Every structure is written in structure tokens, then in C-alpha cells.
Amino acid sequence: MSEQQEHAEHIVSPVVCAVVYVALLAGVGLTIAASYANLGILNPIIVLAIAFTQATLVALFSMHLKWSAKLTQLSIGACFFILATLVSLVLLDNVSRAWGSW
């Protein structure tokens, strides 16, 4: 009916969904494996990096962000900027006052 007249809705194909799915599962496996290995300071960094990658995949593909309006993408960026402000300034206070084990 009017669907063709409306702006083309991007439909994520099941193939893309499946690829993302497999990637996410791989991420879970990797992260468990990485946490059992002794990598010193890299441990939390790798684990967080995997988590951020997984989250990005879900956001971009499953949540359609890659094909969403610029406005949506910008808003998410703004939100993370504000969250980063909270995190970094609380850390600033913490680092200069009470870093490490009490």
C-alpha cells in the first residue's frame, strides 16, 4: 500500500542477523577464555574491549543504528559524552583522593 511511497525502510536480512549472532557468541567464548589467562593489566582491558565490540555490533546491526537517522546517532553520542563526563570526573576525584585498596 503506502509502504513503497514511504521512505524505504531498511530491513536487516536474517543473514546479517545470523552473522552478528555468531560474532556475539564468539565474543562470549573469547571473553571467558581471556579471563582464565593471566595477562596482567591487559585482562580488564581485553574483556572490556570485547564487551564494547559486542555492544557496538548489537547497536549497529540488531538495533539498526547503522541505517538510522544522523540525529539518532548524534543523540547517542551526546549521551555517551555525558556519561563519560560523569565517569571521568568521579574518577578524577577518586584517583587523587583514594586510589587503590583502602
Partner 1 sequence: MSDTIVSLPDQTTARIPKDNYLTRENGLLSWLLTRDHKRIGILYLISITFFFFIGGALAGLIRLELLTPQSDLMASDTYNKVFTMHGVIMIFFFLVPSVPATLGNFFLPMMIGAKDFALPKMNLASWYLYMAGGLLALYTMITGGVDTGWTFTTPLSTHYVNTNVLTTGLAIFIAGFSSIFTGLNFIVTIHKMRVPGLTWFRLPLFVWANYAASILMVLGTPVLAVAIVLVALERTIGIGVFDPTKGGDPLLFQHLFWFYSHPAVYIMILPGMGVISEVISTFSRKRVFGYTAVAFSSVAIAVFGFFVWAHHMFIMGVSNYAVLVFSLLTMLVAVPSAIKIFNWAFTLYKGSITFETPLIYAFGFMGLFTIGGMTGVFLGTAGTDIHLTETYFIVAHFHFVMVGGMLMAFLAGIHFWWPKMTGRMYPEKLSQMAAVVTFIGFNLTFFPQFILGMLGMPRRYASYPPEFQILNVFSSAGATILGIGYLLPVLYLTWSLKYGAIAGDNPWQATGLEWQCQSPPLTENFPETPVMDHEAYDYEWLEKQQEARRKEAEVTSVE
Partner 2 sequence: MSNSPAITPETHTATEHHEHPPFLLHHFNSMEQQNDTSSFAMWLFLLTEVMFFGGMFVVYMIYRNWYYAAFVAASRQLNVAMGGINSVILITSSFTMTLGVWSAQTKRKGALILFLILTFILGFVFLGIKGMEYKEKFEKHHVPGEHYSLQSFINPASDAEAMATGTKALPLDEAVHTELFFSLYFAMTGMHALHMIIGMGLLLFIIFRARSGAYTTGHTAFVEYFGLYWHFVDIIWIFLFPLLYLINRH
Nearer to partner 2, 66 or 69 (CB): 69
**Residue 46: CB partners within 8 Å, gap ≥ 6?**
31, 34, 39
Rg (alpha carbons) of the chain, rounded to whole number: 19
3-class DSSP assignment, residue 22? helix
Residue 51 is a binding residue for partner 2 (CB under 8 A): yes
User: Are 76 and 65 in contact, with CB atoms under 8 Å apart?
Assistant: yes
Q: Which of residues 72-101 bind partner 2 (CB under 8 A)?
A: 72, 75-76, 79-80, 82-83, 86-87, 90-91, 94, 98-101
Nearer to partner 1, 45 or 83 (CB): 83
Separation between Cα atoms, residue 16 and residue 36, nearest integer Å: 31
The residues of the shown chain that bind partner 2, judged by CB under 8 A, are 1-3, 6-7, 9, 11-14, 17-18, 20-21, 24-25, 27-28, 31-32, 35-38, 43, 47-48, 50-51, 54-55, 58-59, 62-64, 68-69, 71-72, 75-76, 79-80, 82-83, 86-87, 90-91, 94, 98-102
